[in-house]
Each structure stands twice: as C-alpha cells, then as structure tokens.
Structure 1
C-alpha cells in the first residue's frame, strides 16, 4: 500500500478564548480541515479526536462532537484517544493505522482542549494525573517542578548551563511572534528570558515563567487519505512513524536519558528510511525549555551534556542544519494538551507546502514531529515529506 497522505488541515488560534467552547473549537478546526482537503463529510470513514481532559472539562465523552460539523458525518465511527500530552499524535497515529489496515480511506483527525476559564488548581491537578508519583497529590509547582528537577540534575551532571535555557526561550518567543496562531506573540529577548524579575518570576528553580509553556485553548485538525484531493495545495506524505512508551514510575527512568523518546525517534527514522540529517525542520515537544535542550541531544545534534552547542552554533535556528520549532513551539504557540500533536503535524505540513504563515523554512522537503506525554513516557514521532507523486 502507498504511504498515507495528509490531504488538508486547519488550525485555530491558540490562547485564552473565553467565547470558545470545546465543541466550537472542534467544529471550527474540523470543518476547516475538510474544506482545505476538498473532502465532503460523507466521504470520511473514521473520526479520531485527541483530547487529554482528565477532569478539565465536564464532558468526558467528546468523540461525537465532530458530527456537529455536518449531518453528512452521521453514522461515521468516532473515537477519542488519550495519551496525556501526546493525545494529539496518538490520534494521528490511530488514523494512520486504520488507513494502513484497509479499514478506512479517509480519516478526520481533530485535537482539541479547553483549559482556561477553570481554576488553576483544577488544571494543575489534571496535568499531574499524568505523573505516577504525584497523581492525586497537592503540588504548588506541578509539572514545572518535575522538569525543574530534570534541569537541576542536568546541571549536577554536566555543570552550569549559563543562559542556555533563557536563549531557548528567547528563540521560541522570537519565532512565535511571527506565527498568527501563537498565544504568546512577543519577542522578549534573551536578557529578559534569562533574568528573574517581576515580569518573569521563578516558577520552580531554575525554571522561570518564560521556560514554561502556557495554559491554552485551541484545536487543530487534518484529513488523512490515500489519494490527493485538495485543489489548494499539494498533499504531504507520511514517510514514516514510530512510538514508544517508558515506565511510568520515575524511579525506573533516568531523567536525562529520554530513552523511549530516542527509541520512538529511531523507529520513525527506520520506518521512513532516513536519518536526522535528511530533515529540514522538526517541531518537537518543548513543554519546558529543558525538554528542548535534552531533545537536541536525543536527536544527535550535540553530544550528551553539550546540547547548548546546537543553539550556540546556530544548528537549530532558521537557516541552520535543522531548524527546531519554527512555529514557536509549545513554549510560545501554546499547549492546549490534546491539540498539540495535531498542531505540530499541521505546522510541518504547512512548512512542506510553503504555506506556513509565520517563519517559513525555505525549500523544506522533509520534517519531523515529536510529541510526548508525561516526562518522556509516551512518545510519538512522525516523518512528513513533500509529496513527489
């Protein structure tokens, strides 16, 4: 069977959207993707909704909400995937599996989350539900505290990182400022991101506010299929994909290894028959700046303990060997949990068709998506390529 295609896509703005509901986000993104793909609702064989929720929204059964898009979707099988912050990519991979199994020819995938307008304690408790040790417990710092421990361990093993995390944050803000979908659209500069201040307080040392992705509302959607349909742009080919899970208890994981992340990355690369050097960009899961730093090393852009070199040498910047998160990443674009993985796929698809509305990587022909749930526990990687068919 030929490799699946991403036929069309759509992306809402990310951020605080008081007038939006989970239903309106899903409907807007799903309808936009169908229109972009030139696919009629009655041509869809399966709908997959990626959403974490975990108590952030009272409706725990959203799989049929996409049927509100059009009556032509009545009777279409629909399901929801949940894999913590990797729920969106889990939805994409579920759709791909159905295509490759011959159970569907066109799949509508929607990732969505409504996280604002509820108490911060509710959001924090929901997110901590993705951690084996802290689920159900009280925590003043939540997942920021967990990734702060990772940053502390990184400094213990490899020495002080200087302003590396601040430089990563500044890169994300600079790129996000050009992305109309992004929540945080302001170039803050390295000095601000590297300095503790009233506007940039310490959240969990050494992570400041600018090191942490924001709480967001938003949705993204795409249509998967086997034959081109859109009159607006070329399709994007799914060249390969892979996933891997690590042990849930933190005691069974080296916090700096990201071992299952590396395994998922290698599986996707092998499936696509490419290497990291073949890529023109990557959208990776930078829920916190320390996660992006570690990913430089997982991807082999710098030796272990020397990830800062990938940034200092310009490797991960636009124009470098492998631009990282030209969308601004989770850090600036926002992180509506279930929408994130789908958003990453949409961002790369736009880059490969030259239609990204922010910082476009010129001549991009192949890109990767990396999306993880928990602290590198659930890991999904997809390799996308400009279609040459």
Structure 2
C-alpha cells in the first residue's frame, strides 16, 4: 500500500425509533454532515462505500446508489454497497481505507445506516437470522436464541454468571446516560438488570431484556483521506493497526464460547500496532448481548477462559477503571442499527481521541481499540486508533 488513510471527519444521527421514513433519508443526513465536518466538498470525494445490512428489513436494496439522491453533486462518484452482518459498518470503513491506501484516490466517504423499527419484531428476528448458519441454527428467538445458547454453554462450563451479565448491562446503561446519540438514556441498577420482571422479562434462555441490544434506526459516516491530504485538515485520526479475521459460520464447527476469531484479531492488531492491551485508553466493543461483552473480555486478553466475569466484578471496565469499555453505552444502550454500528464505534473512538466526547470523555485518551463483530464471532474486526494531529 502506497498511502496511509486517516479519518478526517464524521457525522452521527441519534439512534432509536426515529421518524425518518427510510434508509435513504438517514444516509442523506450523515453523508452531508460528515463532509461538512471534514470541510470537504462533494467534488473532492473519489469513492463512496455504503454499509447497510437490510436482508429484508426494507424493500429498497442497491443502497450505494442512494447517496447521490441526498447529495446530487456526488452523482458521478463511484459508490458501492457492502454487507458483512453486524460488522457491515467496519467493512464499509475498511473498504474506503483500502481504496485510499491503494493510491486510487485521495478522499473517500464511508456511510453506515439501517432502518429497523418500521417492520414488526418477528420480521426483524427473521431478517437477522440470515447472519447465522440457518441449516443448523434456525430458532424462533432469532439471534437472541443463538446467544442464549452461548450463554448457557458458558454457564454450564464455568458457573452461572447472570449477575455479572447484569453488571455489564448496568454499566453500559449508566454510560449511555451521557451519550446524546444513545437510543436509551436511562440508568438501570444491577438489581433491576438481574431480576426477571414485567419490565425485564426473559427473552431467550438465561438472557433478559437488559441483556439484549435494542432494535434501532440510525446512521453514521466517516470521511477518510490520505495523510498528505489530511495534513491541511482540522482533524486526523490514524488507524495504527487494523485486523480482520474470519471463522467458521456454523457454531457446530468450533467451540462457541472460545471466540477464537476475536482473540486472533485482537492479537494481530495489537502486535501490528506495537502495543499491549495495557496501553489502550479505552475500548468500544460489540456488546450485542451482555454475554458477548463478557466473552470479548477474555478474547482481548483481560481475563483467561472462564474468568471474564471477574473483569466486570472488579470494576476494570468501568469508566474510571483500568480499561474503560463502552463509555458510549455500547450497543446495549446506544442501540444497534446493524449497518451503522461499526461506523458509529469508530466515530465514538475518534471523538474520544480528539477530546470532543463531551460528558463521555475519558481523560487524556490517547489510544483506542474498537472491536466490531459480524454474526456470532464470525467476521471479526479490530482497530487500534490514535490521534495523528
């Protein structure tokens, strides 16, 4: 690769049940917003990548072609749509970076968006199951059913850790209180999260509503440029390292709680960056379900197998802990509009590194990690970000 791509601007909608009628409207908001934030004109954009999962969530496909409808000056700019399950947003970002680093252009726009709340919950669950190996993993509870089985496998092997899952949920909801983009800006204490009730019913297996991320609408976008072009811009966030590791799609082909793909992605990214986990100021990780965050503690190296529960119990990942995790509220509180999630996570990290995270700000944030996962630890992306200027 001849050039290094850096993030030079971003935009982010509120996540939640939004009035915006469709993905097209959401894309238009953040595409223009990100270009304005980067102080880049549409005529300077050499390529566009759009990440939308869709798979039946909306009737409109061919989402790469929607950007120019909101910004007609992008009419003749090459645009593509990418999809990689819940890691669709990071796939879009990495594709835009690959374009820049190949030397084919100077500036690219990466957009992630999803409109999920306009269809009935049963249809959402059905659409999301296309991100699993349906021949073996079809179930009436959607992805909650898959992660419920993962949680039960963990409990059977290492002991019941529902209370620690409740601690993760409570932590992330507390953090989400300070995120103006979050779907849920309400704190829940551990006792509430750990108690089955009318307001916190069982969703599947051992997982309660507070263990599951929200069905959300939303969009986010990033502008990336080569370092030479970025030298005259107001912001520049470098991905010091980035790794993408895939694993088998069927859980039957692997240990479902080993999270070997995430483990390998973290190891590769940290090695390529020349840093250790202890060097990071914060991590934004993929807590689609609280059991996922617990397993990711083990995958990133905060704890050994079967000991991830100790991390939250010891306060390591709280905002004032040794390694703050999901100070944005994570997917749990911020929401999880699938195509937007990976872009959003990188925006949250970039804001921290620029000291522009407001009430979410981690003091003196210098190095951030992002982990975005597609499926049940199938497509695994890790980014190590630092401020370049």
Deviations 1:276-316 (A, max 9, x none): 12111110100000000001111111121111221122211
Which one is further off, 260-269 or 128-137?
A: 128-137
| Cα distance, 1:19–1:99 mapped onto 2, change above 3 Å | closer
Q: 1:80 and 2:81 equivalent?
A: yes
Match of 2:212 in 1: 212
1:357 maps to what in 2?
358
Who is 2:11 aligned against?
10
- Given that residues 53 and 60 in structure 1 are in contact (C-alpha distance below 8 angstroms), is that contact kept between their aligned partners in structure 2? yes
Shift of 1:203: 0.5
Does residue 1:228 correspond to 2:242, yes or no?
A: no
Asked if the contact 2:3/2:103 (under 8 Å) is kept, the reply is no
Distance in 2, Cα, partners of 1:294 & 1:134: 25
The answer to whether the 8 Å contact 1:133/1:250 transfers is: no
Q: Provide the C-alpha distance between the structure 1 equivalents of 2:359 and 2:57, rounded to a whole number of angstroms.
A: 30
Query: Alpha-carbon deviation of 1:3?
Result: 3.1
1:1-389 to 2 correspondences below 5 Å: 1=2, 3-133=4-134, 137=138, 139-226=139-226, 227-228=229-230, 233-388=234-389
Q: How many pairs align?
A: 386
How far did 1:136 drift?
Answer: 9.7
TM-score by length of 1: 0.96
Matches of 1:141 and 1:71, distance apart in 2? 42
Shift of 1:99: 1.2
Please list the CA deviations of residues 87-115 of structure 1 after superposition, one character each: whole Å capped at 9, or x if unmatched: 00000111111111111211100000000
Report SS of the residue matched to 1:200.
Answer: coil
Structure 2 distance, partners of 1:107, 1:367, is 22
Cα distance in 2 for residues equivalent to 1:27 and 1:37: 16
Distance in 1 between the 2:97 and 2:196 partners? 44
- Aligned-pair distance for 1:273? 2.0
Give unmatched runs, 5+ long, in structure 1.
none
Q: Which runs of 4+ in 1 moved over 6 A?
A: none
Is the CA contact 1:173–1:332 (under 8 Å) kept in the aligned structure 2?
A: yes
Aligned CA distance change for structure 1 residues 230 and 113 (closer, same or farther; 3 Å): farther
Structure 2 unaligned residues grouped into runs of 5+: none
Aligned equivalents of 1:172, 1:134: Cα separation in 2: 34
| Cα pair distance change 1:118/1:216, threshold 3 Å | same
SS of equivalent residue, structure 1 residue 14: coil
Alpha-carbon displacement from aligned partner over 1:311-341 (angstroms, at most 9, x marks no partner): 1222111122211000000000000000000
Contact 1:38 1:230 in 2 (8 A): no
Q: TM-score, normalised by structure 2?
A: 0.96
8 Å CA contact 2:3–2:102 kept in 1: the answer is no
Distance 1:136 1:277, change over 3 A: closer
Aligned 8 A contact 1:6 1:224 in 2: yes
RMSD over aligned Cα atoms = 1.5
| Alpha-carbon offset, residue 261 of structure 1 | 1.2
Higher helix share: 2
Query: What SS does the corresponding residue of 1:63 show, helix, strand or coil?
Result: helix
